[in-house]
Amino acid sequence: MTSNPTSADSALSGRPEGWHQIDWRHVEWTVRGIQIRIAKAARERKWRQVKALQRFLTRSFCGRALAVKRVTENKGRRTPGVDRELWGTPKAKWRAIGRLKRRGYKALPLRRVRIPKANGKERLLGIPTMRDRAMQALYLLALQPVAETTADPNSYGFRPQRSTADAITQCHQMLCKRGCPEWILEADIQGCFDHIDHQWLVDHVPMDKKVLRSWLKAGVVDMGRVWKTDEGTPQGGIISPTLANMALDGLEALLAEHFGAKGSKRRRKTKVGLVRYADDFIVTGISKELLEQEVKPLIEVFLATRGLKLSPEKTCVTHVNHGFDFLGWTVRKFGTKVLIKPSRKNTKAFLDKCRGIIKASNGVAQEYLIWQLNPVIRGWVNYHKHQVASDAFASVDAALWKSLWKWARRRHNNRRRRWIARRYWHTVGNRQWTFAVPTAGVEAGEKAVSLTYASDTRIKRHIKVKAEANPFDPAWEVYFEELSRKRMEDSLRHRRRINTLYARQKGKCLQCMNLITHETGWHVHHLIPRVQGGPDTLENLVLLHPNCHRQVHHLATSVTLLVPLGA
């Protein structure tokens, strides 16, 4: 697999003169090489070298170009800040690279957006300007290797190749063995992003202090006024989760200091362990008294130095036999087995969302309703498919069937039930009652636009990332590539054509030869264009990064697949 440049592509070998002439393979490799050196210096505690390498990265062309690429390809690229500026054209992106300079930089206020929460409160998000977002992405490239090197091993929130599935799998491993702890401290930090002490961040986060202080003190525009920000991180910004993680890192080391390192005699006696996802975490212990009288005060002192405190309404000590909720799951021990199931609260929120979509779709076509429901159903199912969720999937299917039946009856209140059933439910594959629109005839039941059923998804155990793995350590590079490939293929299982192309290309974009992930996204490219008679078959298709796809068409390059399908 390779990419063959034409004469129009010759500019890629020299200094680029525009956005589409940038050699992204060179950019990615250059930035990663510097990040590896930063991580190595951080492991060796050579902080002066870390600072010098960070300065080099943030001033380099490659770092600035990659930062602009990230903020112009993520989901928020069409959401403007207070200046209403967007970078939607190659010309604007190219000019933006030259604007990412530290000298004279001052962050503009954030645009306040209010997101309603399940408890009736609101989550306050701040939308930075495009330039501020790009500056955050640029400095994050230099900060993330340090954050990953110094992070707690069992911290799984907002980190590369880590997710809620890893956190809940670690939780199961801590509680499923014989002689495991039976008491759990469920902890939640009150307004974590909104109350982190600014001075603590400036003193302890290893990055440019002037730039960091500019973000923290930028202020927000809300209700037509500019409000000062005296505490908290700029929630909604690209770098905010990493800053919050670095503020909470050290908690696991603190517990190890007081209760012994992993495997020590005191640790085996107290059975203290930690699993954290962002600001939600649990701590295990041998008794309720240990957690309430020793562990909890220790955590409160740790948080107080950072301007934080535990939420009284969400922090409690629970026995594992009674069960507890964590990250949308209910963890409970039945006899000698620990079962993790979708929580009632999470399931109810999902069904409420689906019912809201159904009620709001009284006058729409059945096909459109299916297109609206399927991504919601598939997302919820994929989140829970690694745990004991078969019963929950069956109950969800039954509840959705009832809602869809009511939807159909409201549309045809003068028709008989059998007529309604024949109109909206058909036999597709082995399932007789499928809410579907057959496009090849009801009898054929082929190529139907059908509803996704939760119970059709197989339960498959999640492959947990190793706690000590560091994505910026070359020793772990092959491990993370293989892990990423397996997870992508698993997530694309329902999209057979994309999965086949992904496996054939070994998960890499054929233009820049970098990995294709959910974060980077992908486009399907025709080797022979359709306008030139190219077929829409697998032999004529490849996957490219969105930016690489645009570059191929702009520079008229040809992408060649050297490995034939099935080889």
Residue 374 predicted with pLDDT over 80: yes
Residue 6 reports pLDDT greater than 70:
no
Evaluate whether 281 touches 152 at the Cβ level (below 8 Å).
no
> What pLDDT is stored for residue 131 in this prediction?
95
**Res 206 pLDDT > 80:** yes
For residues 168 and 35, what is the distance between their CA atoms, to the nearest angstrom?
29
Question: How many other CB atoms are there within 10 angstroms of residue 304's CB atom?
Answer: 12
pLDDT per residue as tens digits for the range 391-417: 999 999 999 999 999 999 999 989 999
> Is 258 in a helix, a strand, or coil?
helix
pLDDT score at 152: 94
Rounded to two decimals, what is the model's pTM? 0.87
Q: How far is CA 269 from CA 33, 265, 286, in A?
A: 44, 6, 7
* Rounded Cα gap, residues 1 and 497, in angstroms: 18
Summarised one tens digit per residue, pLDDT across range 213-260 is: 999 999 988 877 888 888 888 777 899 999 999 999 999 999 999 998
Calpha distance 373→401 (Å, rounded):
12
Which region among 23-32, 106-115, 158-167, 438-447 has the lowest average model confidence (pLDDT)?
A: 438-447
Over range 358-369, report the average pLDDT: 92
What is the mean predicted confidence (pLDDT) over 362-390? 94
When pLDDT is averaged across residues 533-551 and rounded to a whole number, the result is 87
Please tell me the predicted confidence (pLDDT) of residue 562.
Answer: 47
Residue 454, pLDDT > 50, answer yes
**Residue 98 CA: distances (Å) to CA of 24, 59, 74, 143, 551:** 17, 10, 20, 21, 20
- In 409-492, where do the E strands start and end? 425-428, 431-437, 449-450
Bridge partners for 78 per DSSP: none
Specify the DSSP element, H or E, that contains 195: helix 192-195
| Contact indicator for 214, 106 with CB cutoff of 8 Å | yes
Res 440 pLDDT > 70: no
Whether pLDDT at 482 is above 70:
yes
Identify the residue with better confidence: 441 or 521.
Answer: 521
Q: Could you tell me the pLDDT band of residue 447, with boundaries at 50, 70 and 90?
A: low
User: How far is it, in rounded angstroms, from Cα 201 to Cα 229?
Assistant: 14
Q: Which domains does the chain have, with CATH numbers?
A: 16-106+123-150 (no CATH), 151-197+232-341 (3.30.70.270), 344-456 (no CATH), 474-555 (1.10.30.50)
pLDDT at 490: 83
pLDDT in the model for residue 307: 93
Percent over 90 (pLDDT), the chain:
62
Portion of the chain with pLDDT greater than 70, in percent: 94
The confidence score (pLDDT) of residue 225 equals 86
**Mean pLDDT of all residues in 138-146:** 97
Residue 137 corresponds to which amino acid?
A: A
Model confidence pLDDT, tens digit, residues 322-359: 999 999 999 999 988 999 999 999 999 999 999 999 99
The pLDDT value given to residue 534? 83
Q: Which two tokens stand for residue 330?
A: 């209910």
Residue scoring higher pLDDT (444 or 179) = 179
Out of 300-304, 451-455, 487-491, pick the least confident.
487-491
Most confident of 107-116, 332-341, 429-438: 332-341
pLDDT at 555: 81
Q: Report whether pLDDT(443) > 50.
A: no
Instruction: Give the pLDDT band of residue 444 (cuts 50, 70, 90).
Output: very low
How far from 488 is each of 498, 500, 518, CA to CA, in Å?
10, 11, 8
Q: Contact 102/208 with Cβ under 8 angstroms?
A: yes
* Contact call for residues 201 and 212 (beta carbons, < 8 A): yes
Reported confidence tier of residue 9, pLDDT bands at 50, 70, 90? very low
Looking at residue 153, its amino acid is P
